[in-house]
């Protein structure tokens, strides 16, 4: 079991989390404390369970057939797997941004307004919510004059910032990023990285990344996963400059993975 991080106020507390896809035991007794208003990076070789773990944090694995989960995941002190949790409300509180930008096939404005409308924001307030979300997503200046045009006409990087803005529009507490830059060029990537570092002032961020430099640049804490276990978890500086575990050192120095 990994040492839970002690320090900042904990936003996400995971204890003894086990997950099976059918017979495949994909997460082994994972425990971790993820601090509020910070960026936590999940790194590790392909297939080690990073995305699986990330998806446990907003119960996206509920949608996977034959998936079984044991253990507890508390967000803001409340077990998100308890019976009285409304999963739609949970996914509003814990937003997610995926590897490939996935705007809805509708206008920029409607992409952002979609969630707030579903969650009951009054019509008169929608324009303000849209503008705020696009500003927070560092996209407003680029799209203010073309809000009614299709989101699919935006560049890949702009689409990804739109997806981030769409997540922000429903006022989440936590944002999960699953390799958000892997489909983007270096300039778009650095814009998203800057945005993530800005967003952590208001939100708790957990990011899966294959890009070690990215983890080192933007995260405060890093967890190294290997075959379904957290091998090491700590301050990013310590993990990258002075890893305590041999497999962590081997991975970050490129000896495997
Ligand atoms: N929907 C699913 N159904 C069945 N098995 C799955 C599913 N998703 C993941 N797995 C399995 O769970 C294990 C962990 O996969 P996961 O995608 O979480 O790893 P990862 O570290 O995120 O990998 P990558 O870096 O390649 O995205 C793998 O053995 C994978 O095959």
- Does residue 216 belong to any structural domain of this protein? yes
Q: How far is the CA of 245 from the centre of ligand 1 (A)?
A: 24
pLDDT greater than 70 at residue 8: no
- Does residue 158 belong to any structural domain of this protein? yes
- Does residue 1 belong to any structural domain of this protein? no
Q: How far is the CA of 182 from the centre of ligand 1 (A)?
A: 17
* Contact call for residues 176 and 167 (beta carbons, < 8 A): no
Torsion, CA 36, CA 42, CA 48, CA 53, rounded to 10: 20
Model confidence pLDDT, tens digit, residues 101-147: 999 999 999 999 999 999 999 999 999 999 999 999 999 999 999 99
Using DSSP's 3-state secondary structure scheme, residue 105 falls into coil
- Does residue 41 belong to any structural domain of this protein? yes
- Does residue 5 belong to any structural domain of this protein? no
CA distance 89 to 153: 30
ipTM entry: 0.97
Tell me the mean pLDDT in the region 208-216: 96
> Residue 26 sits in which domain range?
10-253
How many domains does the structure of the chain reveal?
A: 1
Pairing of strands 39-43, 221-226: parallel
CA distance 40 to 164: 17
- Does residue 87 belong to any structural domain of this protein? yes
Counting from 1 in the atom list of ligand 1, the atom nearest the Cα of 179 is: 27
Above pLDDT 70, what percent of the chain? 96
Ligand 1 pocket by Cβ (under 6 Å): 21, 24, 26, 44, 46-52, 64
Model confidence pLDDT, tens digit, residues 27-72: 999 999 999 999 999 999 999 999 999 999 999 999 899 999 999 9
CA distance 99 to 119: 25
Q: CATH code at 234? A: 3.40.50.300
Query: Model-level pTM?
Result: 0.94
- Residue with the nearest Cα to atom 26 of ligand 1? 46
- Does residue 3 belong to any structural domain of this protein? no
pLDDT greater than 60 at residue 204: yes
Counting from 1 in the atom list of ligand 1, the atom nearest the Cα of 64 is: 1
Tell me the mean pLDDT in the region 194-216: 96
Give the contacts of 254 (CB within 8 A, at least 6 positions apart): none
Q: How far is the CA of 183 from the centre of ligand 1 (A)?
A: 19
| Residue 3 binned pLDDT confidence (cut-offs 50, 70, 90) | very low
CA distance 11 to 211: 25
- Does residue 191 belong to any structural domain of this protein? yes
- Residue with the nearest Cα to atom 6 of ligand 1? 21
Model confidence pLDDT, tens digit, residues 92-105: 999 999 999 999 99
Residues constituting the chain: 257
CA distance 223 to 32: 9
Token couple for 69: 């989960």
- Tell me the average pLDDT of the chain: 94
């Amino acid at each position: 079991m990994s040492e839970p991080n002690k320090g900042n106020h904990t936003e996400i507390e995971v204890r003894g989390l086990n997950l099976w896809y059918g017979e495949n035991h994909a997460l082994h007794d994972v425990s971790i404390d993820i601090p509020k208003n910070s960026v936590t990076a999940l790194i590790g070789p392909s297939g080690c369970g990073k995305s699986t773990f990330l998806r446990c944090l907003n119960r996206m694995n509920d949608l996977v057939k034959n998936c079984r989960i044991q253990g507890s995941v508390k967000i803001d002190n409340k077990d998100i797997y308890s019976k009285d949790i409304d999963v739609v409300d949970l996914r509003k509180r814990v937003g997610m941004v995926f590897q490939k930008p996935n705007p809805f096939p509708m206008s920029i404005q409607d992409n952002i307004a979609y969630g707030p409308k579903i969650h009951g924001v009054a019509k008169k307030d929608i324009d303000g919510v849209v503008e705020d979300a696009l500003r927070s997503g560092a996209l407003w200046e680029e799209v203010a004059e073309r809000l009614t045009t299709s989101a699919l006409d935006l560049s890949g990087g702009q689409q990804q910032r739109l997806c981030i803005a769409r997540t922000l529009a429903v006022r989440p507490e936590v944002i999960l990023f699953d390799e958000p830059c892997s489909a983007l060029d270096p300039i778009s990537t650095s814009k998203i990285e800057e945005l993530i570092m800005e967003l952590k002032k208001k939100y708790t961020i957990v990011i899966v990344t294959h890009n070690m430099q990215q983890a080192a640049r933007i995260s405060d804490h890093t967890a190294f996963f290997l075959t379904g276990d957290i091998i090491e978890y700590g301050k990013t500086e310590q993990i990258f400059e002075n890893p305590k575990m041999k497999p962590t050192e081997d991975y970050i120095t490129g000896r495997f993975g």
